[in-house]
């Protein structure tokens, strides 16, 4: 089946792990249960791709065993053979993962290495390599710090319950010394997990800033699992955010909105970025679910798998409202245009239907802009049988909402919900949606606001647009169909035939 989002053939999946671009392939390892549909027996599954669109699934890479589950972590290419796992001529890939003890409440960091480009892995005989005698020390991300003559490995991980990112350094990946700790700060309504730290050039300048990503659960902006980010400086030792934020919990709505969130939906968690790409190709993939209900998510009998990933997203740093924010651009399959509308009025009582015929589609991209005129807002509705998804823009609240309550039948408790994302008022509101039968990714304000939600089975929906409190104008709309099978399809030509 063609899908917009990577999902394993079978069994359980959560966080992306060990993302690395190596010798022309993108490797996506992931938390998986090799023998079941539940969050147990955690191991690293493996898929790879040459284009971030078509994924080939491989055998389990790093399996659980009698003494440990293999929790989240990262991979580096040990180019200088600092660890001695490879040779100077043929360096090893080294995975740094969390050993979750099966015998006691204990988490420590361990290594595995691969000398065949990531296909098979050997656990290091002297694991763990970093142990704080903690039950909540996990999710190591290793990066290479290089500054003039100085270069060494930096590991960041979380002390989850303390809401802290802890940083260590090493010359050989085997022995580590503590550098600094960051947090608690910003969102602290849940445990901190899956940190990432990377430099990004500020768009249009020669300046660089460091971005620290921290997932937390619960305590996210949309409820349950969520991801905040901090922009600042890193000097090889310590991360210092440009703006300081007080410790903030979900009860404090204003405080939560003042923080920077990677995504305002409920289903974008544990996102991390690829090693091995140039900084201006910094690319993130996140798990598309939420610990609020992931474990009880319904499973389709014809496809006994739980969990999928978001679209890969290329990251950049851009100015917005006098500060810097992250911008995300999805990397998606080729599309073929199926409908184009221009300059159409949509009233309150007479919604404008949008012709998007493509039953059986693997996914759609729908890009449009609505001019508000004197209306208070607009609503976009997708409907299939008794199921619906409604997006609504409220100009006064400067907010876009995503209401999936009408597409939540048969889903776990708490799934039926409305998510909200700030979107600044403007004469025209442009939005880009990626929609497949069970999820939506919404990109607003040029990708600086993103909302990702799973939805209940919404196959072949109809779409309509209506004004709220007045008549609005659909300035333009382009609906396109995802054609994964045929990447050489000529999207533009197909689009013109429709008109």
Residues marked active site are found at: 15
Burial class (CB in 10 A: 0-12, 13-18, 19+), 476: middle
Site string for ligand FRU, 139-158 (x = CB under 6 A): x-------------------
Question: Which one, 63 or 363, has the nearer CB to ligand FRU?
Answer: 63
- Position 11 contacts ligand FRU (CB under 6 A): no
- Position 292 contacts ligand FRU (CB under 6 A): no
Element containing residue 498 per DSSP (H, E): helix 491-498
- Position 448 contacts ligand FRU (CB under 6 A): no
Question: Which one, 71 or 168, has the nearer CB to ligand FRU?
Answer: 71
Give the nearest distance from C-beta 193 to ligand FRU in angstroms.
4
- Residues between 185 and 214 with contacts to ligand FRU, criterion CB under 6 A: 193-194
Interatomic CA distance for residues 252 and 188, integer angstroms: 11
Interatomic CA distance for residues 340 and 367, integer angstroms: 10
Q: What is the phi/psi pair of residue 195, to 5°?
A: -80, 155
- Position 78 contacts ligand FRU (CB under 6 A): no
**Comparing C-alpha atoms, which of 259, 261, 281, 369 is closest to residue 329?**
281
Instruction: Please state whether beta strands 11-22 and 305-306 pair in parallel, antiparallel, or not at all (unpaired).
Output: parallel
- Position 31 contacts ligand FRU (CB under 6 A): yes
Give the nearest distance from C-beta 72 to ligand FRU in angstroms.
3
- Position 164 contacts ligand FRU (CB under 6 A): no
The number of residues that bind ligand FRU (CB under 6 A) is 12
Interatomic CA distance for residues 411 and 346, integer angstroms: 33
Which residue among 211, 270, 341, 380 contacts ligand FRU (CB under 6 A)? 270
**Comparing C-alpha atoms, which of 382, 422, 425 is closest to residue 406?**
382
Query: Facing residues of 382 across strands?
Result: 389, 463
- Residues between 91 and 130 with contacts to ligand FRU, criterion CB under 6 A: 98
Question: Which one, 67 or 177, has the nearer CB to ligand FRU?
Answer: 67
- Position 42 contacts ligand FRU (CB under 6 A): yes
Question: Which one, 109 or 480, has the nearer CB to ligand FRU?
Answer: 109
Interatomic CA distance for residues 59 and 118, integer angstroms: 11
Residue 177 tokens, joined: 């010394």
Q: Is the dihedral of CA 283, 328, 17, 241 positive or negative?
A: positive
Q: Which residues contact 359 (CB under 8 A, 6 or more apart)?
A: 459, 460
Which residue among 46, 106, 138, 365 contacts ligand FRU (CB under 6 A)? 138
- Position 15 contacts ligand FRU (CB under 6 A): yes
Question: Which one, 156 or 270, has the nearer CB to ligand FRU?
Answer: 270
- Residues between 338 and 367 with contacts to ligand FRU, criterion CB under 6 A: none
Question: Which one, 72 or 388, has the nearer CB to ligand FRU?
Answer: 72
CB atoms within 10 A of CB 145: 16
User: What three-state secondary structure class fits 281?
Assistant: helix
Residues that bind ligand FRU (CB under 6 A): 14-15, 31, 42, 71-72, 98, 138-139, 193-194, 270
């Amino acid at each position: 089946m063609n899908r917009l989002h990577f999902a394993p053939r079978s069994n359980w999946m959560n966080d992306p792990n060990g993302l690395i671009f190596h010798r022309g392939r993108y490797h996506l390892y992931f938390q998986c249960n090799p023998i079941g549909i539940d969050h147990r027996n955690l191991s690293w599954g493996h898929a790879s791709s040459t284009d971030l669109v078509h994924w080939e699934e491989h055998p389990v890479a790093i399996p659980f065993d009698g003494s440990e589950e293999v929790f989240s972590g990262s991979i580096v290419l040990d180019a200088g053979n600092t660890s001695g796992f490879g040779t100077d001529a043929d360096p090893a890939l080294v995975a740094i993962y969390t050993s979750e003890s099966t015998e006691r409440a204990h988490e420590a960091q361990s290594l595995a290495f691969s000398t065949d480009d990531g296909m098979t892995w050997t656990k290091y005989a002297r694991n763990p390599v970093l142990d704080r005698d903690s039950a909540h020390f996990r999710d190591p991300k290793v990066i290479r710090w290089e500054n003039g003559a100085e270069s060494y490995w930096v590991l960041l991980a979380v002390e989850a319950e303390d809401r802290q990112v802890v940083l260590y350094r090493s010359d050989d990946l085997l022995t580590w010394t503590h550098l600094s700790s960051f947090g608690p700060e910003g969102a602290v309504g849940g445990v901190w997990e899956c940190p990432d730290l990377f430099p990004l050039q500020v768009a249009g300048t020669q300046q660089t800033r460091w971005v620290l990503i921290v997932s937390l659960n619960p305590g996210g902006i949309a409820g349950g699992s969520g991801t905040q980010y901090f922009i600042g400086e890193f000097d090889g030792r310590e991360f210092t955010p440009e703006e300081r934020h007080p410790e903030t919990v979900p009860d404090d709505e204003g405080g939560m909105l003042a923080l920077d969130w990677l995504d305002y939906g409920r289903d974008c968690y544990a996102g991390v970025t690829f090693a091995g790409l140039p900084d201006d190709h910094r690319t993130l993939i996140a798990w598309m679910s939420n610990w609020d209900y992931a474990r009880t998510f319904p499973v389709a009998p014809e496809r006994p798998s739980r969990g999928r990933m978001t679209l890969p997203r290329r990251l950049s740093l851009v100015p917005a409202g006098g500060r810097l924010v992250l911008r995300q651009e999805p990397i998606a399959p080729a599309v073929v245009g199926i409908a184009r509308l221009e300059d159409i009025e949509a009233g309150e009582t007479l919604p404008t239907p949008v012709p998007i015929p493509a039953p059986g589609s693997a996914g759609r991209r729908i890009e449009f802009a609505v001019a508000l005129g004197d209306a208070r807002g607009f609503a976009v509705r997708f409907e299939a049988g008794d199921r619906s998804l409604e997006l609504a823009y409220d100009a006064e609240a400067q907010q876009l909402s995503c209401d999936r309550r009408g597409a939540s039948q048969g889903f776990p408790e708490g799934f039926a919900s409305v998510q909200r994302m700030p979107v600044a008022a403007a004469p025209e509101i442009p939005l880009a949606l990626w929609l497949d039968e069970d999820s939506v990714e919404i990109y607003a304000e040029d990708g600086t606001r993103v909302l990702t939600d799973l939805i209940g089975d919404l196959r072949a929906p109809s779409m309509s647009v209506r004004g709220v409190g007045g008549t609005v104008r659909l300035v333009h709309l382009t609906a396109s169909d995802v054609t994964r099978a045929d990447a050489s399809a000529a999207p533009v030509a197909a689009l013109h035939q429709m008109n």
